[in-house]
Amino acid sequence: MRTRGTGVRWRAREMVLLGAGLALLGGAAARPAAADDLGDESSFAIDPRLEELLRRAGAATGPVPVPLWRHRDAELQARLEALVSRLGLRPAARRGALALAMVDLQDLGRPRVAAVNGDHMMYAASLPKIAVLLAAFEKIARGELRLDAELRDHLERMIRDSSNASATHVMHRVGKRFIAEVLLSPRYRLYDPARGGGLWVGKDYARAGLWMRDPLHQLSHGATALQVARFYTMLARDELVSPRYSRMMKRMLGRTSIEHKFVRGLRAVRPRAAIYRKSGSWRGWHSDSALVEHEDGRYVAVALSASPQGGRWLPQLIVGMDAIISEYEAETRLPAVALPGPGELRRAAR
């Protein structure tokens, strides 16, 4: 299966994407209708500070933290593509209506990655609230925001219940510009022009409150599967903000009250699995993302879809991805070596 984000010469693509993004920022192109055009907003603000951040992000030459693109696993890729074909989703993938990423974290230092349309940015509804969560904890860590009872309650409801009102409250306290700065920062690069974009939140979760659509694709709430997978991989490695705050975010992500999509599929086959997730839905757009831990494996799974059938696809996809990871980890796991006891060591020394 030919997929976007595979075998591309990234330096050339970076120049094209960055140029397109800056042209949009400069107003050189009219804004197309976006998937989440809920309000009557016919224009968007141009922030010179964001333009400078985009220029720096596009020109960045330092190492990308958690570069999942360098950890593709051919066997895992083949199994993911076979799953897509088996579920009859190859046409959706070919037309860009489905994007997937899967990261085997048996060894946290050496992830194994597979993706379908991994760098294809799509409207992701509430899934990008994970970016709001990250930015809030960044501001808390800097001492610029107090984690009081009210803020904690809104953060939990934003993640647990996917509350739009709570997400908007947190965004106002954190600042949309600050959220963009965190996503574009060299530390995270969760929105990267060289990789087709990534996580983006430029509008309240309400009819109004637009600050800025993402410069490459004009989405107010968007994501790519691989950038979301990087978020969860860093979460698993305690690399978001600090180990302490990573664990706090992980606890919040593990208390979902919405048991559909990935959760629905996993509960049927892995009732005791720990699932740290955030999903999103709006009209024909369905997405889910999770760090999953159970006795047979630890992995990240991300699925973005642009189809009314997406809500049906996602439970099937996560069951299939879970089986792939469990089987692959069993096949590649190093056998346990029994260490000699004290008596055996003494006898061997004689």
In this prediction, residue 194 carries a pLDDT of 85
Farthest-apart Cα atoms in the chain, separation: 86
Each residue's pLDDT, cut to its tens digit, for the chain (350 residues) gives 544 443 333 333 444 444 444 443 333 333 333 333 333 333 344 567 677 777 776 666 678 899 999 999 999 999 999 999 999 999 999 999 999 999 999 999 999 999 999 999 999 999 999 999 999 999 999 999 999 999 999 999 999 999 999 999 999 999 999 999 999 999 999 999 889 999 999 999 999 999 999 989 999 999 999 999 999 999 999 999 999 999 999 999 999 999 899 999 999 999 999 999 999 999 999 999 999 999 999 999 999 999 999 999 999 999 999 999 999 999 987 554 444 454 554 454 44
Start-to-end CA distance of the chain, whole Å, equals 61
As beta bridge partners, residue 298 has 293
Coil/strand/helix, residue 173: helix
- Contact, 258 vs 127, CB < 8 A? no
What is the residue extent of each domain of the chain? Answer: 10-30+41-332
Q: Could you tell me what percentage of the chain is helix, strand and coil, using 3-state DSSP and rounding each to the nearest 5? A: 45, 15, 40
Distance, in Å, from the CA atom of 122 to the CA atom of 223, rounded to the nearest integer, reads 6
In this prediction, residue 200 carries a pLDDT of 97
Give the Cβ contact number of residue 303 at 10 Å. Answer: 27
In this prediction, residue 64 carries a pLDDT of 86
- Contact, 239 vs 232, CB < 8 A? no
- Contact, 311 vs 260, CB < 8 A? yes
In this prediction, residue 53 carries a pLDDT of 75
Structure tokens at 142: 């800097």
Domain 10-30+41-332, CATH homologous superfamily name and number = DD-peptidase/beta-lactamase superfamily (3.40.710.10)
Measured over the CA atoms of residue 278, residue 283, residue 286 and residue 287, the dihedral's sign is negative
* Sequence-distant (≥ 6) Cβ neighbours of residue 215 within 8 angstroms: 20, 21, 22, 24, 25, 50, 54, 193
In this prediction, residue 206 carries a pLDDT of 95
Smallest Cα–Cα separation from 242: which of 170, 148, 141, 144? Answer: 141
